[in-house]
Each structure stands twice: as C-alpha cells, then as structure tokens.
A and B are shown apart, each in its own frame.
Chain A
C-alpha cells in the first residue's frame, strides 16, 4: 500500500512484475523446498523461482513436478520431514491440489502457497476472479487476499510466520493478471531482515528416523471429530498470532498492517453511511470512487478484509456497525444460493446489534473489467437498499449482458 510505504521511505523499492516480486519475497523466506508447476497467470512465480535457484541465489531444493497434484504432495512430504515448503498455483491447478491440501490442514503442515486467483472452467478462462480460492474455503487453510504487489510479497512472509506458529497451511491470494502481471514499485526485504521476523522452522514433530513417528494415521469415528476441532481451534488462535505478527512486521519492516488486528483494511469507513466491502485488487478502484464521493461531501467508505480465513467476523461487526447500507462486491458466486462472501458477511452480522441492509454485487468475474463508474452505480443502488429486500433483490449482477442469454430480453 502506498500509505504504508510512506512510513518508511528509506526502504529501497524496485519496479518489477508482480510474479517476480512474489518469487523474491519467497526467496527472502528461505524455503528448504519449492515444488511448483506452471499455470497461467501464476507461471511467472515458478519461472522466477527456477531462475533464482539456477543462478544460485535461492538455496532450495526445487522439485520440477509433473502436476499441481504432485506439487502439493511433495510439499506435504517435505513439510512432514520438517522442511519449510512453498508452492504456487492458480485456478484448475488449485483444484488439482485440493485433495492433498485438505490433508495438509488435517496433518497440520504449514505449507505456504501463492495463489494467483483465476476463474474455474467451464468455459475456459485464464482471467482473474476469486472462484478458485473460495472453492478451498472449507479445507482448513489460512487465506489472505492482497490488494497490491507489496502486500502479496508481505503476505508470503506473514503467511510462513503464522502458518508455522499455528501449524496450518496458508493460501496467499493475489489477483491473476491484475497483480501478477502489473509492474509496481515494491520493497523486497532482504534475508537478514527477514531472519529476525521469520526464524528457521522449528517443528515439534517430523519424520526423523531417530525418533520414529507415525504421521497421517487412520482415525475412526471416536477420534476424527477432534482432529477437525483442532483445526478450528488453530484457526481461532491464528487471529491473535496474526495480530502479533503484523505488529512485529511493522516494527521490523515499517509497513503497517495492524488495523483491526491486521484483519481488515478500511478507508474512510469510520463515519461512512454507505460502505463498500471487497477483497483484493479491486480496492484500488474503490478508493478512487470513495475519494470522489468524499469530495462531494458524501460519506462513503470501504472495508477490505485482508484475511479471509480465519474470517474476520467480530471486526466486520464493528466496522459495519454504523452503516446505513453495505454493498458487497465479490468476484465469485455459489450457484444455488448467493455469493459466498456476502453470505458470510451477513452471517457475521446476525449477532450484531446493528444490522444494516447488505446487498451483494457479483462482478469482475473472469477478468471482466470493473470501472469506477460501475462502482459509483453500485453505491447509488445500495443507498436504496432496505432491510425488507427480498432474496432476489439482495443480489445483483450489474455486469450481466442479457443480450448474450436466451430469453435475455425479458431479464
């Protein structure tokens, strides 16, 4: 974030492509094992990491795997052996990893993955949305969403720090193309700085032959529930661990992510009548729209969850408490109900004293461009939202092109 960078202007910045920057952030985390398979738009990360290893700049075992499935599987073996393991993927690749990744959570292996968010087939699309990340929602993986390249780098470092403290895998999400292929100035912390914040991994249990353990045992009904409960407990512990980590991160690197314990980033939200909630790179456009409204004297603000798992429910209850209406902008949908993101925010506010009307807007799917005027229209629309909205009225697809649909004229 530009705001955060200004706090430490002496930090050297370099203009580089998002994927290269993330790869250099990974290098700073000094993983023992990297195992990744190319997929658009993540490919630049695995290419850059390969190059860093080839040039001897990154001293990791780099496994040139045959698929994302085996990228995740090799990371599981490496992490179980005690290694710091990293992978990166996107979209279909994340789906191919999904089966082993769910077990990484159950086996409490703190693998960190950069996910260049992209839609899922069909139809085939290589462009950005959040369908891939949301499809992994229930696996027990920590999830962060970056707004810009700097955050994508920092989330990898924060990711390892938190994942290794609570023993859960982490997905560090950043929007495909919008962040992977953009050239932005960013600061890459050097390894000496990072080693203070992120010391070498020190796992409690490993596949050490001198102290044999059985890992990944089979559990019958009398034991299985407890393993799932432990994931839940670790997720809840991660809230505090993350809060501590962002504070130390600020002290070491000068970039401040500590608002709401690092869970939310807000922009003119404190006194806002109408709040736009969104994750990822779209926040930059929303900021411009908020600025325009504020210039006109209208109290519009933004709330951006930085952490998606654990879900920042108490923080959202607090941040949205005084709003007259809330617009949730989301790049995913859950067929048969409403967008999962909006549903979760509504769920979080069920226990709140104040329950502003919440309307969800499905947009920016598979790379469809979202312009400031699109967001301004949404703000105008949500002003009319009422608590009495019907289910149908509470979700809108503002970018839908009815002319492409059979019977679309009637929509």
Chain B
C-alpha cells in the first residue's frame, strides 16, 4: 500500500473543501478523527444530514454558538446516533410519500443520511442502536471512527482498545499487562446483520476512504464503515505522526483494510512483507510498559502478534 501511495499522484483527489467541515474546531493538533470528518463531508457533499454521537468529534465541533458543520447536523446523546439517523430517514421516507412539498428538500433518494460515532459510542454503549438500525434496513451510512478508547473522557478502554494497551481503566501494573482483550470485530458483526456494504478504511489513505464513503452512499439500505483514526493524546505519540501511525497499523495487519458486500469479502488491501507489530507499538506511550518488563512484555507482544497473524490468515491479507 505505502509503495502505491508513493508512486501515484493523488493531488487532485486531495484538494480540500472547507465548506462542510470548517476550520476553527477545537480538535487537538494531529487529531485523526478530525481528518476523518473532513474526508466524510468532502465525499458526501452538501446534500447530507449527519447524526453524531456524543464524543470527541461532537464536543470539538459544536461549542455553542459555533459549529464546524456545513451540512445539516444533529447530536443527541452518546448511545443513539444510529437511532436518531434512523428516525431522520423514516421522516424523509414519510415526507417523500405523503407530502413531497412538506419541506423544501430534495428527493429522499438523493439525500445522504450518515451516522457517526466513536468506537465506544458504536461498539459498546451504542451497539443496540446500531444493531437495530442495521437489522431494520434503514438507508443510513454508519461510520465508526476508531481511536481505540474513550478519548473524550480521558482515555478509558473500549472494546476497540488493542491488547496490551494501557488506558486509565486498563492500567499496566504488577498483575496487569494493560488491556487484556482484543479488538471486537465490528465489520464482521455488521456483515452478519445482512448489511449490503461493509468496509474498513484508514485516515492514512484518504483516497480509499472517500471512495468507500461515496460507494456506500450509492447503495440503498444500511452501510457500515470502520475508519481507523489515531489519537496522539490518548496513544502518546508526536502529533506530527498521526498519518504514519495509521499507516503502520495497516502495514502490520493490526487494522486490515477490506470490503464486504452482502456478507462476503470482496476486496482486501494486500500487504507485502507485513511489519511485525512491535514496530507500531514502540513509538506509543500507551505500550511503553511492554518494553520495560522484557519477559512480560515479550509474552504480551507475542500474544498480540498471534491474534494479528490469525486474522491476516483468515482475511488472506498477505500478498
């Protein structure tokens, strides 16, 4: 992947449009999720309604009376972005059928309804709302931005926190190696709901991510996109390295990039010479304990590597 990036010129696709995700928001320097918001709005365009969950992206983008959102936007609570979006979609279905002149809006078919939530708001507390939205078949694109913990509240673990990561609720200690679970596989869970289009993407490849947003929005029914978006503050790395760390997560196979259509894997971004995971772990403060205690650290890294290798094999990740 990285070699492709170096060889090809994507300059024209990377021209940025600040109209729909305005500068001046309160995100930290080097924020991965803020880049994701920029790419989402650029790809979706103005005929879009965004329903956002409580979390970093909501708090940094809508400090009243200011807003970064150039699209229609609604935030309600932490765990219901999928349901709020489903309600919006139902309302437009009703307007379309009952009273097309009710509001000055375009045809419901041309309208993009996107729900956005962080990993906690999606994979944990908002899981029921997401499951219901997907199962009922609402014409909504759900995008989970994954920064691997509850960053808005100060770095507590979520079900997307990787094995061995230290967070404030999974601290490393005499008896603990940090977080003791692996990332919940949200893409497969979404696909198992019968969702016609499921994909993963990384902010390190905006071209790929935006194409997937565009592709998803062309499809009727529920869509699920899992976008990888590092957090310099929560992970403890230099804020200039966000894209690099996101790219490295892809190159190590920790975050496989693929598409699933009608439950089947239809494309996988193959990796030549997959990097060992410690290359990715080492620059991050949240894993530094793994390199202090050699014996415990090595065992933990090995366990994480085995999990990655197993998934890589299942997905046919290696080129």
With a cutoff of 8 Å between Cβ atoms, the chain B residues found around residue A38 in the complex are none
Contact status A218-B94, CB under 8 Å: no
CB proximity to A under 8 Å, residues B112-140? 128-129, 131-132, 135-136
Partner of B84, one of A59, A76, A82, A220: A76
User: How far apart sit A79 and B83, CA to CA, in the bound complex (Å)?
Assistant: 12
A59-B86 Cα distance, complex, nearest whole Å: 18
Please state if B72 and A78 are interface contacts (CB–CB under 8 Å). Answer: no
**A200 and B99 contact, CB distance less than 8 A:** yes
Using CB atoms, name the residue of chain A closest to B52: A216
Interface of B (DSSP majority class)? mixed
Chain A residues near B83: list those with CB within 8 A. Answer: 65, 69-70, 73-74, 76-77
B65 interface residue (CB < 8 Å to A):
yes
B223 within 8 A of A: no
Q: Is the CB of A209 within 8 A of B71?
A: yes
The answer, yes or no, to whether A217 is at the interface (CB within 8 Å) is yes
Chain A nearest CB, measured from B114 CB (Å): 12
Structural contact, B106 and A217, CB atoms closer than 8 A: no
CB distance from B33 to the nearest CB of A (A): 16
Is B168 in the interface zone, CB < 8 Å from A?
no
Looking at the assembled complex, report how far the CB atom of B57 sits from the nearest CB atom of chain A, in whole angstroms. 11
Contact B84 A74 (CB under 8 A): yes
A82 CA / B92 CA spacing, docked (Å): 9
A215 to B81, CA, bound (A): 13
Name the B residues within 8 Å of A209 (CB-CB). Answer: 46-49, 71-72, 105-106, 111
Contact B91 A61 (CB under 8 A): yes
Q: Does A327 contact B (CB under 8 A)?
A: no
A212 to B59: give the CA distance in the assembly, Å.
Answer: 19
Contacts of B136 in A (CB 8 A): 63-65
CA distance A67 to B128 in the complex (A): 9
Are B73 and A213 interface neighbours, CB within 8 A? Answer: yes
Report A-chain residues with C-beta under 8 Å of the C-beta of B131.
66
Assess whether A85 is interfacial by the CB under 8 Å rule: yes
A100 with B87: CB separation less than 8 A = no
Residues of chain B within 8 A (CB-CB) of A220 are: 63-64
- A214-B69 in contact (CB<8A): yes
Residues in A with CB closer than 8 Å to B71 are 209, 212
Instruction: State whether the Cβ of A1 lies closer than 8 Å to any Cβ in chain B.
Output: no
CB within 8 A of B87: which of A59, A78, A208, A213?
A78
B305 CB-CB contact with A under 8 Å: no
Residues of B near A200 (CB, < 8 A) are 99, 102
- Please determine whether B49 and A218 come into contact, CB atoms closer than 8 angstroms: no
Chain B residues with Cβ below 8 Å from A61 are 90-91, 93-94
CB of B169 closer than 8 Å to a CB of A = no
Please state if B74 and A218 are interface contacts (CB–CB under 8 Å): no
Q: Is B76 located at the chain interface by the 8 A CB criterion?
A: yes
Most chain A beta-carbon neighbours within 10 Å: one of B47, B58, B85, B103: B103
- A99: Cβ under 8 A from any B Cβ: yes
Contact check, A100 vs B62: say whether CB atoms are below 8 A apart.
Answer: no
Min C-beta distance of A223 to chain B, whole Å: 5
A212 and B69 contact, Cβ closer than 8 Å, known pairs A69-B128, A218-B64, A219-B64: yes
Q: Which residue of B lies closest to A31 (CB)?
A: B94
Of residues 186 through 221 on chain A, the ones whose CB sits less than 8 Å from some CB of chain B are 200, 206-220
Which A residues lie within 8 Å of B129 (CB)?
66, 69-70, 73
Contacting B67 at CB < 8 Å: which of A32, A206, A214? A214
Interface size on B, residues (CB 8 A): 51
How big is the A interface, by class? Answer: 35 or more
- Contact A77 B64, CB 8 Å, known A214-B73, A215-B74: no
A80 to B52, CA, bound (A): 13
| Chain A residue nearest to B73 in the complex (CB) | A214
B88 touches A212 (CB 8 A): no
Is A60 in contact with chain B by the CB < 8 A criterion?
Answer: yes
B128: A residues at CB distance < 8 A: 66-67, 69-70
The answer on a CB contact under 8 Å between A218 and B48 is: no
Q: Are B132 and A70 in contact (CB under 8 A)?
A: yes
A79 to B92, CA, bound (A): 11
Most B CB within 10 A of own CB, among A208, A218, A219, A220: A218
> Is B98 positioned at the interface, with any CB of A under 8 Å from its CB?
yes
B51 close to A (CB within 8 Å):
yes
CB distance from B95 to the nearest CB of A (A): 7
Q: B80 contacts which chain A residues (CB < 8 A)?
A: 69-70, 73, 76, 100
* Residues of the B chain whose Cβ atoms lie less than 8 Å from the Cβ of A77: 51, 74, 76, 83-91
CB-nearest residue of chain A to B115: A77
Residue of A nearest to B49 (CB): A207
Flag if B104 contacts A100 (CB, 8 Å). no
Chain A residues lying within 8 Å of B47, measured Cβ to Cβ, are 209
A-chain residues with CB within 8 Å of residue B75 when the two chains form the complex: 215-218
Q: Which residues of A contact B79 (CB under 8 A)?
A: 69
Q: Output the nearest chain B residue to A207 by Cβ-Cβ distance.
A: B72
B29 CB-CB contact with A under 8 Å: no
| B residues with CB within 8 A of A | 46-49, 51, 58-59, 62-65, 67, 69-77, 79-80, 83-95, 97-99, 102-106, 111, 128-129, 131-132, 135-136
Give the 5 A-B CB pairs with smallest separation, nearest first.
A77-B87, A73-B83, A74-B87, A66-B132, A81-B91
Pick 21 A–B contacts, CB within 8 A, sort by A: A32-B95, A59-B98, A66-B129, A70-B128, A70-B132, A73-B80, A74-B84, A77-B88, A78-B87, A78-B90, A81-B49, A207-B49, A207-B74, A208-B104, A209-B72, A209-B106, A210-B104, A210-B105, A214-B67, A215-B73, A217-B64
